[in-house]
Amino acid sequence: MINLTGLCNICLVLGLNWARKVSVPPGPLVRVEGQTLSLRCEVSDYEGPPEQDFDWKATRGSETINVISTFDSSFPDQSLKDRVISEDIRVQRLGDSTVELRIRESKVTDSATYTCSTPSTDSVISGNYHANVQLTVIADMLVLVPEAPVSSVTEGRSISLRCNISYDFVEGIYLSVTYSIKKEHSLEEDIFTFGPDVGVTVGLNFTRRYADGGMHLHMDSGGSYSLVLSGAVPADEGMYVCAARQWTREQGVWNRIQEKTAVMGQVAVVPTGEDGLQTFTVALDSPVVAQYLGEPTELVCKVTNISLFRWERLGVSWFYSVASPSNDQRTTDIIASLNENGALVPSEKYRSRIASGHIVVTQMEPATFKLHLLHTANTDAGEYACSVMTWAPTRHGNWKKSSEHRSHALTVRLASKGPGVSVAARIVRPATSTGSTFEMACQARLKNLQAGISLSVLILVQESIGAPNRKLASLNPDLILKLEDWLESSRKDSLSLLKSGREEFRFRIQGVQLTDKGFYSCEVGVWTRQDRNEWAEVAKADSNKVLLTFDHTRPSFELSISSDTSSIYPWETVKMECIVSVSGTSPNTDDVAYEIRWYLSPLRGSDSLTLLASMDRWGMVKKSPRNDSSDCSLERLRAQRFTLNIHGTQDSDAGEYYCTATPWIRSGISGVWSKEPDLISKRVFLNVKFALWDSIKLPLLYGTCASLSVGLFSLILGFVCARCCCRNTTHTPRSRIKLMDLEID
């Protein structure tokens, strides 16, 4: 002892710093009401006796009370006496220099700053003699409400374990939830713990199951914690317990400050037989099956008896195989899948049809999937199957396929696989001669095809049997006309092709030529819309052939006459027209010419026929000399129309008019002109209204002569009277006499 003291003195002399050190845990500390709490106090680097004394004080606000002391039993404050006597509050010595203040059942009112002090036993006062720690005792608000699980589950089903937990949130306090199982004749085994940090602790015997997604904790914001164990096995049988713990983190170490445990209940697992293990069944149905090509087909894959966990996901794969009972080695193609993320994964073979929307794969309801073929083709007939997969999350955030169930195969047949269309061509208007009109109809007959289709047509001609087909014109499914190998651009307008009925087309050539002769047929295509833009041909058919032909006959001519009036007044103009019409194989206009003559059979005077005028085949006009003041003119309006105008008509122009025409035809081969027989028109009668003039011209002449005679007689009589009766008058003006002389002359 002396040595030690001496050593200490030497140390002091050497400048070693002896300084008492009192320490308590660093605060602030949080504890829960009702729990036992302890505050440790330790002293070091002191002089004097090894066993040290301690006392505790508590300060709340400005008030400080004595709590307990190791050496003075009268030390505790009056308010704490009972608790000290009952040892609810005591100080426990752990060693010479270490004690613990213990409160067996802490109260919220115990919250205070606690000071641990040691009386000095040192020769020199040095260091600290007391230390403080702040303690907060919070009310116990942790409530754990377990929900009894179903007492018995079938093997393979899931066990849902729910505990509802509520507590007051206090900063620095953390919660953990632990699920355990207590099996008969064995210790309680932790299955799964969530918290107190965000981590998860999985019991050793459950790690595999957790990694496979067979165990999952679901929490909701209301404080409900559910642990679901899927795919129950007999070993899952037992008593389930859940525990809620509150923790603080002190000096980097988790410190449990509260724990509540509740038994949830006993669960029995009923084993199933070998084939009883179905968590669900998959049924494939076809609510819509195409009866005809191009119609839609719908297949529905429905999962029934499913007890899907909330975190699990469903996926589907669709399969197709050609139904060929004779051939064993059938191949099955995958069409497309919906994966665990709901993404569509088309197979290579079906990629384009899926991309174009021709095939649609959808999830209609959580457990119902649909395969929709918008336009069923012949090649779509066969066997279909679907396979439904469940996906569970792994702890790494991935998805793992947890089960797969395949439906039975369903056969899809089209009512008929035969050709969908046939076409019949017929002549509507036969060509009779060059220049006439030819018209044919193409009547399609659709079999096994229905709405949503459009027809196209192509007109083909074959000059003779065995000759190659030449395309003339076509209408596409949008009914846009295209002239194909129709070479004569000058005759473009003489050709027409149109849709004349729901399933009928008309083709027409106006003014047929010798070169148009041949065998005509049509090819009708049936189209459906693949998507918004594209037509796809689903069927096609050729018609029979119809013959365009006609006899090459000599032309025959006819001549007709017309007049714009049949009765006119003198001095007016009349116009008459002679028209040559040609029927049969008409020659080109350049190869025909006409000589025209106009005749008059006068009404009055003579019964002789008068040639009025003529026009030779080159257009030279020759007029006959005329006796009266009227005149005539000739005109060629068009190749085959000729007019005669009579200007300033006179009485003599009345009568019957007619014309004659002499056609001249030039042979296409030799170029020689030859004359055809004369044509004579009918006669037209022209009446000139002369009656008024005829009736007044003689009376007018006689009247004029008579009045002149009477006037002359009166003058003479007057002159004689003047000579006889007025002889005495002397002053006769010379001028008057002169005038009278003149008048007598």
Ligand X SMILES: *[C@@H]1O[C@H](CO)[C@@H](O)[C@H](O)[C@H]1NC(C)=O
Q: Which residues sit at the interface with ligand X, rule CB under 6 A?
A: 145, 147, 164, 189, 204-205, 220, 222, 224, 281, 304-305, 610, 626-627
Cβ-contact 441, 426 below 8 angstroms: yes
Distance CA 318, CA 338 (A): 9
And the tokens for 175?
A: 């919660």
Considering the complex, what minimum distance in angstroms separates the CB of residue 58 from ligand X?
39
Which residues have C-beta within 8 Å of that of residue 460, sequence separation ≥ 6?
469, 470, 471, 472, 520, 521, 522, 523
| Other C-beta atoms lying within 10 Å of the C-beta of residue 180 | 21
> CA 632 → CA 606, 643, 711, distances in Å?
20, 10, 46
Distance CA 637, CA 646 (A): 16
Considering the complex, what minimum distance in angstroms separates the CB of residue 34 from ligand X?
23
Considering the complex, what minimum distance in angstroms separates the CB of residue 276 from ligand X?
8
Of residues 608 and 729, the one with the C-beta less far from ligand X:
608
Considering the complex, what minimum distance in angstroms separates the CB of residue 652 from ligand X?
6
Of residues 162 and 517, the one with the C-beta less far from ligand X:
162
Considering the complex, what minimum distance in angstroms separates the CB of residue 664 from ligand X?
28
Cβ-contact 100, 40 below 8 angstroms: yes
Cβ-contact 203, 240 below 8 angstroms: no
* Neighbouring C-alpha atoms within 13 Å toward the C-beta of 716: 7
Edge to edge, the sheet with strand 641-647 lists 556-563, 574-583, 641-647, 631-638
And the tokens for 115?
A: 């000071």
Angle, to 10 degrees, between the axis of helix 691-725 and the axis of helix 734-744? 140
On the 0-12 / 13-18 / 19+ scale of CB atoms within 10 A, 494 is: middle
β-pairing, 631-638 vs 673-675, is unpaired
Which residues have C-beta within 8 Å of that of residue 572, sequence separation ≥ 6?
648, 649
Considering the complex, what minimum distance in angstroms separates the CB of residue 649 from ligand X?
13
Distance CA 639, CA 635 (A): 11
| Other C-beta atoms lying within 10 Å of the C-beta of residue 79 | 9
Of residues 182 and 540, the one with the C-beta less far from ligand X:
182
Of residues 535 and 599, the one with the C-beta less far from ligand X:
599
Of residues 184 and 741, the one with the C-beta less far from ligand X:
184
Of residues 108 and 145, the one with the C-beta less far from ligand X:
145
Work out whether the CA dihedral 179, 184, 188, 189 comes out positive or negative: negative
Considering the complex, what minimum distance in angstroms separates the CB of residue 206 from ligand X?
9
Of residues 145 and 308, the one with the C-beta less far from ligand X:
145
Distance CA 597, CA 578 (A): 10
Of residues 122 and 237, the one with the C-beta less far from ligand X:
237
Of residues 201 and 305, the one with the C-beta less far from ligand X:
305
Considering the complex, what minimum distance in angstroms separates the CB of residue 162 from ligand X?
6
Of residues 222 and 287, the one with the C-beta less far from ligand X:
222
Considering the complex, what minimum distance in angstroms separates the CB of residue 665 from ligand X?
33
Considering the complex, what minimum distance in angstroms separates the CB of residue 253 from ligand X?
24
**Continuous segment of H or E residues that includes residue 655:** strand 655-666
| Other C-beta atoms lying within 10 Å of the C-beta of residue 719 | 13
Of residues 183 and 413, the one with the C-beta less far from ligand X:
183
Considering the complex, what minimum distance in angstroms separates the CB of residue 227 from ligand X?
14
Of residues 515 and 687, the one with the C-beta less far from ligand X:
687
Edge to edge, the sheet with strand 37-44 lists 21-23, 37-44, 98-103, 89-95
Considering the complex, what minimum distance in angstroms separates the CB of residue 742 from ligand X?
44
Of residues 145 and 288, the one with the C-beta less far from ligand X:
145
Distance CA 614, CA 370 (A): 90
**Continuous segment of H or E residues that includes residue 509:** strand 504-509
Considering the complex, what minimum distance in angstroms separates the CB of residue 147 from ligand X?
4
| Other C-beta atoms lying within 10 Å of the C-beta of residue 431 | 21
β-pairing, 188-194 vs 174-182, is antiparallel
Distance CA 110, CA 156 (A): 53
Distance CA 213, CA 340 (A): 14
Of residues 278 and 709, the one with the C-beta less far from ligand X:
278
| Other C-beta atoms lying within 10 Å of the C-beta of residue 9 | 12
Considering the complex, what minimum distance in angstroms separates the CB of residue 187 from ligand X?
7
Cβ-contact 275, 288 below 8 angstroms: no
Cβ-contact 306, 326 below 8 angstroms: no
Distance CA 110, CA 114 (A): 10
Considering the complex, what minimum distance in angstroms separates the CB of residue 293 from ligand X?
35
Of residues 206 and 438, the one with the C-beta less far from ligand X:
206
Of residues 281 and 549, the one with the C-beta less far from ligand X:
281
Of residues 143 and 716, the one with the C-beta less far from ligand X:
143
Considering the complex, what minimum distance in angstroms separates the CB of residue 291 from ligand X?
29
- Partner residues linked to 378 by β-bridges: none
Considering the complex, what minimum distance in angstroms separates the CB of residue 203 from ligand X?
6
Cβ-contact 642, 578 below 8 angstroms: yes
Which residues have C-beta within 8 Å of that of residue 317, sequence separation ≥ 6?
334, 336, 337, 386, 387, 389
Of residues 38 and 164, the one with the C-beta less far from ligand X:
164
Considering the complex, what minimum distance in angstroms separates the CB of residue 220 from ligand X?
5
